[in-house]
């Protein structure tokens, strides 16, 4: 248990309530009433994206309705996963695979124990074996009630919870900003690839409306060549040359994580060594919409080769800018063309070959406008990357603080911490 803290049990501090079973009779009852499932309970928050409903009687609504401040704990799946109910809906109940914890006294702060359960189940290992070992592990009411937890003064609970809550709010703020930035990118791509930047009237084409001055041309007319990569065996030992594979072509950029290497003759290397500006297409994937995913090689990792599940396109740079093609491949029209040209294989995946990539129709403004469109989308990508980095940093901070606060390594009882904001929440 935690450093010299006095302890008690969950059952001593909380009244543990049981939810209603989801039965065929309840599904076809006369009164639909919303209820929460384990899918609604994430670590530290309630997700109301999809709220289920079934019949509840008057007595069940009276006994199984949630109150603001109730702590909900998952019995199955990711056992121990918990979140606070903050009264997001006027009236809501819960199913039997959730435990409802309601404090027995005002000295118990549910949010502190929510974080302690998260630390205990995900980091500290103090609740290993807490679940019943059936075919599906589950946390029974009796086992939950018997879990040891710290017995701290209310003010210290509030301060610890306030620190973690503030970091968690920061994470959620970055996730919201990320969602907004990604939607901005989708909207910008719709506008840029159908209306351009020059305020021109549109014309209808095989791939939808585009600006009047733009042309539509198949990729075969805009590239020097297409080429499959090497089928040579690769491994993680850093010998020879780095080889880019499907995992390295992600989200429109080259990832240098999970690199493999291979040793080839000079002649073989010369035939498949990548040059800056080469566009790599993913030619096979289990998800149809991801077939044809692209990224432009910019020299990192240096002297890289590419594997056989990728196709390299070297473009006629005076006509088509590589980044413009890459962004177009992510647009609605680009994805529709590439995934639509893929074919199912016996292994359940979808494949696209060079001939079908060659037939993709590309909207073609002049290079100056291509570069202006690239600049706009690059700017949005930088914004997305910034929020991703901030979110990652806050997530690491949260994990560190959760560990140090819940082991007593970091004490906050003597610090002046504003707890009013979290109390209001």
Three-class DSSP labels, 25-62: HHHCCCCEEEEECHHHEECCEECCCCCEEEECCHHHHH
**Res 1: pLDDT:** 55
**Res 128: pLDDT:** 76
For the chain, 425 residues long, give each residue's pLDDT as a single digit of tens. 556 899 999 999 999 999 999 999 888 878 889 999 999 999 999 999 999 999 999 899 999 999 999 999 999 888 999 999 999 999 999 999 999 999 999 999 999 999 999 999 999 988 876 665 545 578 999 999 999 999 999 999 999 999 999 999 999 999 999 999 999 999 999 999 999 999 999 999 999 999 999 999 999 999 999 999 999 999 999 899 999 999 999 878 999 999 999 999 999 999 999 999 999 999 999 999 999 999 999 999 999 999 999 999 999 999 999 999 999 999 999 999 999 999 998 888 999 999 999 999 999 999 999 999 999 999 999 999 999 999 999 999 999 999 999 999 988 878 788 777 776 66
Angle between helices 154-195 and 110-119 (to 10 degrees): 70
| 16 touches 99 (CB < 8 A) | yes
Q: Which of 157, 156, 159, 132 is nearest to 143 (CA)?
A: 132
Strand bridging mode 310-315 / 82-84? unpaired
CA distance 261 to 255: 14
- DSSP line for 332-397: HHHHHHHHHT-EE-TTS-EE--HHHHHT-EEEE--HHHHHHHHHHHHHHHHHHHHHHHHHHHHHHH
> What sign does the CA torsion over 56, 61, 63, 69 have?
positive
Residue 166, helix vs strand vs coil? helix
Any idea where the domains of the chain sit in the sequence? 7-152, 215-364
Residue owning tokens 């109390």? 423
Radius of gyration of the chain (CA): 28
Task: State both tokens at 68.
Answer: 């603001």
Domain 7-152, CATH number (from 3.90.220.20, 3.60.21.10, 2.60.40.2130, 3.40.30.10)? 3.90.220.20
| CA distance to 77, 132, 138, 146, per residue, from 135 (Å) | 11, 9, 9, 22
CA distance 177 to 386: 10
Tally Cβ neighbours within 10 Å of residue 206.
Answer: 8
CA distance 196 to 214: 9
| 300 touches 332 (CB < 8 A) | no
**Res 416: pLDDT:** 82
Vertex 74: Cα angle to 72 and 77 (nearest 5): 160
Q: Which of 26, 27, 46 is nearest to 37 (CA)?
A: 46
Residue 219, helix vs strand vs coil? helix
| CATH topology agreement for domains 7-152 and 215-364 | yes
The gap from C-alpha 309 to its chain's centroid, in whole angstroms, comes to 25
Task: State both tokens at 127.
Answer: 């609740």
CA distance 39 to 77: 9
Q: How far apart are the first and last CA of the chain?
A: 29
Q: Which CATH architecture has domain 215-364?
A: Alpha-Beta Complex (3.90)
CA distance 31 to 276: 64
**Res 419: pLDDT:** 77
């Amino acid at each position: 248990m935690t450093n010299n803290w006095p302890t008690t049990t969950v059952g001593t501090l909380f009244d543990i309530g049981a939810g209603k079973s989801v039965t065929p009779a309840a599904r076809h009852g006369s009164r639909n009433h919303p209820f929460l499932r384990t899918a609604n309970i994430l670590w530290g928050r309630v997700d109301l994206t999809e709220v289920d409903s079934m019949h509840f009687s008057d007595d069940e609504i009276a006994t199984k309705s949630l109150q603001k401040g109730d702590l909900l704990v998952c019995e199955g799946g990711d056992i121990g996963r918990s979140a606070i109910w903050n009264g997001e809906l006027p009236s809501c109940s819960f199913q039997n695979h959730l435990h409802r914890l309601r404090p027995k006294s005002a000295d118990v702060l549910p949010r502190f124990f929510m974080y302690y359960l998260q630390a205990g189940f995900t980091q500290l290992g103090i609740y290993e074996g807490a679940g019943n070992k059936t075919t599906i592990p589950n946390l029974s009411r009796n086992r939950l009630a018997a879990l040891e937890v710290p017995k701290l003064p209310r003010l210290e609970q509030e301060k610890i919870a306030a620190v973690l809550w503030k970091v968690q709010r920061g994470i959620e703020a970055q996730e919201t900003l990320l969602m907004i930035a990604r939607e901005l990118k989708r909207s910008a791509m719709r506008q840029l690839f159908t209306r351009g930047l020059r305020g021109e009237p549109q014309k209808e084409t095989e791939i939808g409306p585009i600006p009047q001055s733009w042309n539509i041309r198949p990729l075969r007319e805009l590239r020097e060549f297409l080429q499959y990569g090497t089928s040579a065996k690769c491994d993680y030992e850093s010998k020879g040359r780095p080889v880019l594979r499907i995992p390295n072509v992600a989200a429109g950029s080259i990832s240098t994580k999970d690199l493999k290497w291979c040793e080839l003759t000079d002649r073989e290397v010369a035939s498949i060594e990548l040059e800056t500006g080469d566009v790599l297409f993913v030619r096979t994937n289990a998800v149809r919409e991801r077939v044809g995913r692209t990224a432009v090689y910019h020299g990192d990792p240096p002297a890289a080769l590419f594997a056989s599940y990728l196709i390299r396109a070297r473009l006629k740079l005076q006509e088509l800018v590589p980044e413009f093609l890459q962004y177009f491949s992510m647009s609605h029209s680009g994805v529709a063309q590439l995934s639509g040209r893929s074919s199912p294989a016996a292994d359940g995946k979808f494949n696209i070959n060079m001939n079908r990539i060659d037939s993709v129709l590309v909207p073609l403004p002049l290079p100056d406008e291509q570069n202006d469109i690239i600049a706009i989308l690059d700017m949005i990508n930088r914004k997305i990357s910034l929020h991703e980095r901030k979110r990652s940093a806050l997530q690491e901070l949260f994990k560190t603080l959760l560990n140090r606060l819940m082991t007593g390594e970091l004490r906050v009882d003597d610090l002046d911490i504003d707890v009013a904001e979290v109390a209001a929440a």
